[in-house]
Structure 1
């Protein structure tokens, strides 16, 4: 059986990105793992090699830094080491409201959630289009459907970009799926200093279920993946509810 090719995953040292790395390795993908923490990435790589007998490359990078982001772009565009799948997963959220955040922190979040996705997608799509096959999974959020400040605005861009790219590049043999997670049991909220009580228990998903669903939707060529029945109901409902009502839920966590 031939290898499904190399997958590059950003934010691969923990949470959803780590689960993508595990499940893609389980499918036989060789991996390029991107995150800021070299030591943690190195341990993840060793575990994946041992568990799945796949090749794993570690590429430490802070994607907010344009120079380090450029290194990842170059890796994606390398014709001698083709990347068959890109998972744009790296991200973080901010606990406070817009005017309570330092503008440089807001800029860093925008750079990671939008600029990095834009540039890495561009770097990956060119070689994929030339080869006539490939795939992108961009991790967005159900927050994209809600008026929830700059995090939601950035994720709304990811949704719009992904929906367009899915149609634009499908004739070139490329699948683009936008994953919209709800509340997921990872380190994401603890890093924001937001507790698990920020949402009712029934809204929380496990990362393994989330990623398994996303990969199944990707295999089916779906433009959007919204795991969990509760979110399949809530996402379209959010589009129909007036923004003034939705904003009452601003105090809840973001993903």
Structure 2
């Protein structure tokens, strides 16, 4: 039986990946900051799907947290065949309203953690001739939005570049770029969503299904939903800044673990 490691695994897109992969028979390693939530999620998944579920408490805004995940990914006796880098967050407010440390934490989680965990996972996958890495980015990668959009753009370019380098190796990489996705996070964070049109919302399970479908087809970029494919296509055509208002809303999120 193969194993998937998912960061930010206790809610939102990460939790949806955990459910879907467990339903497909994969054992899991769940990574997040909240030990109690991790243990509850693990118990539920193990009971529901009959798979082995391991938990790893780690804050990916810290060197120690990233190192703990790296160590698990490099464990040759317990190989990980699928890595889903989902942990992430956004900072509310305009750039100069956000504390510098919060921006540095974002770089740590969105860039350094993804770089280091991907590097930790790939040698074993390549040696075995199989494996997959899904790095969760955002439609904001294609829209001007300060540090958030810049980090997500980095995720897209990094992932697609490595995918080309590993072409033919049996290892697949994908940058997943969802738009607004319905999860429980908006309510938990007390964020109003009444100004977001109904057409803009994606179902979290459909996001994951589309990601896995495109991954199986060897597509290194997945933008779920026809409407968001159109947004990305438009963003690539228009001058920079024309769609900045859309991306400013997309960044008003919070940590996904």
Q: TM-score under structure 1 normalisation?
A: 0.95
User: 2 CA distance for matches of 1:122 and 1:56?
Assistant: 23
Q: Does 1:220 align with 2:224?
A: no
Q: 1:102, 1:189 → 2: CA distance?
A: 22
Distance verdict in 2 for CA 1:248–1:142, change over 3 Å: closer
- Which residue number corresponds to residue 35 of structure 1? 32
Preserved contact between residue 36 and residue 61 of structure 1 (Cα < 8 Å): yes
Q: Is the 8 A contact 1:92 1:188 kept in 2?
A: no
1:113 maps to which residue?
110
For residues 200-234 of structure 1, the C-alpha deviation after alignment (integer angstroms, 9 at most, x for no partner) is: 11011111111111111111111111111101111
| Match of residue 24 from structure 1 | 21
Partners of 1:188 and 1:172 lie apart in 2 by: 37
Give yes or no for the alignment of 1:53 onto 2:50: yes
How many pairs align? Answer: 252
Moved more, 120-129 or 192-201: 192-201
Residue 44 (1) aligns with residue 50 (2)? no
User: How far off its partner does 1:46 sit?
Assistant: 0.5
Question: Cα–Cα, structure 1 residues 127 and 100, in superposed 2: closer, same or farther, change >3 Å?
Answer: same
Name the residue aligned to 2:97.
Answer: 100
> Which 5+ residue runs of structure 2 have no aligned equivalent?
none
Structure of higher RCO (CA pairs closer than 8 Å, 6+ residues apart)? 2
Preserved CA contact (<8 Å) 1:9 1:21: yes
Within the candidate set 152, 157, 165, 2:162 is matched to 165
Q: Give 5+ residue unaligned stretches, structure 1.
A: none
SS in 2 for 1:163: helix
Structure 1 match to 2:9: 12
What aligned pairs does 1:230-245 form with structure 2 within 5 A after superposition? 230-245=227-242
1:251 Cα shift? 4.3
With over 3 angstroms needed to count, the CA separation of the structure-2 counterparts of 1:109 and 1:181, relative to structure 1, is same
Q: What TM-score, normalized to structure 2?
A: 0.94
Contact 2:145 2:248 in 1 (8 A): no
Q: Return the offset for 1:50.
A: 0.7
> Superposition pairs for residues 53-202 of structure 1, below 5 Å?
53-189=50-186, 194-202=191-199
Contact 2:143/2:241 (8 A) holds in 1: no
Task: State how far apart, in whole Å, the 2-side matches of 1:244 and 1:8 are.
Answer: 36
- Give deviations 1:176-221, integer Å, cap 9, x for gaps: 0111000001244456654223421101111111111111111111
RMSD: 1.4
